[in-house]
Chain A
Amino acid sequence: GENVEQHPSTLSVQEGDSAVIKCTYSDSASNYFPWYKQELGKRPQLIIDIRSNVGEKKDQRIAVTLNKTAKHFSLHITETQPEDSAVYFCAARGNQFYFGTGTSLTVIP
């Protein structure tokens, strides 16, 4: 099956700085790559996604880049705010739907 690795596992940034989270995947058949934000005890919330025919997508302070050749994709959050603090998961969809290992982001006011 798919193997999705995510780094870093924890990330602390000062408010206003940027945060970058990276994921790699193994299944070349994967063609859909969403990112989720999960708060403690709650369901994951989709924040942005990218399909395999696109290299970059941006939505306000959030952007995602995809390099299919290298099999990696990244989440970029600019001008971070304290409310961005949460656990972020990448995911890759081929025949199944697998999550990365998660990144706990802390934005320090």
Chain B
Amino acid sequence: GAVVSQHPSRVICKSGTSVKIECRSLDFQATTMFWYRQFPKQSLMLMATSNEGSKATYEQGVEKDKFLINHASLTLSTLTVTSAHPEDSSFYICSARQGPYGYTFGSGTRLTVV
């Protein structure tokens, strides 16, 4: 079946630094990838939708300059959290779309900003 690889699974960074999270579709081409953020015991909140070769569409309230999304190829999308602060600590998870009804999730990234 479709596999999406997300790295890193866990990252701890210092406040003010930037962190890049990668999401790769291993055996299919994903024209669309979604990025979600999940706080403990809460739902997955859609942050942005990225389409290969074009700018990402951000949800209301999500700072595009803080959460940089690049979808440079059909198999790779990256989320960079710039100038991270403790409030950015969260579980980030990507989802890649394959066809009209195929959505595969990455394994998630636990970001802790200290």
A interface list, Cβ under 8 A from B: 1, 6, 32, 34, 41-44, 46, 49, 51, 89, 93, 96-102, 104
Contacts and interface: CB of A to CB of B under 8 A. Distances in A.
B108 A97 contact: no
Interface of B: 34, 36, 41-46, 49, 57, 59-60, 91, 93, 95, 97, 100-101, 103, 105-108, 110
Contacts of B41: 104
Contact of B101 (A43, A51, A96, A104): A51
Contact of A44 (B44, B49, B110): B44
Given A97-B46, A99-B43, A41 B101 contact: no
26 contacts: A1-B59, A6-B43, A41-B108, A43-B93, A43-B105, A43-B106, A43-B107, A43-B108, A44-B44, A44-B93, A44-B105, A46-B103, A93-B103, A96-B34, A96-B46, A96-B49, A96-B59, A97-B49, A97-B95, A97-B97, A97-B103, A99-B36, A99-B43, A99-B45, A102-B42, A102-B43
A41 B60 CA distance: 26
B107 to A, nearest CB: 5
Contacts of A100: 43
A64 to B, nearest CB: 14
Nearest to A34: B103
A40 B103 CA distance: 20
A98 B108 contact: no
B107 A42 contact: yes
B101 A42 contact: no
Nearest to A89: B43
Given A34-B103, A97-B34, A97-B95, A41 B110 contact: yes
Contacts of A34: 103
Nearest to A32: B101
A89 B44 contact: yes
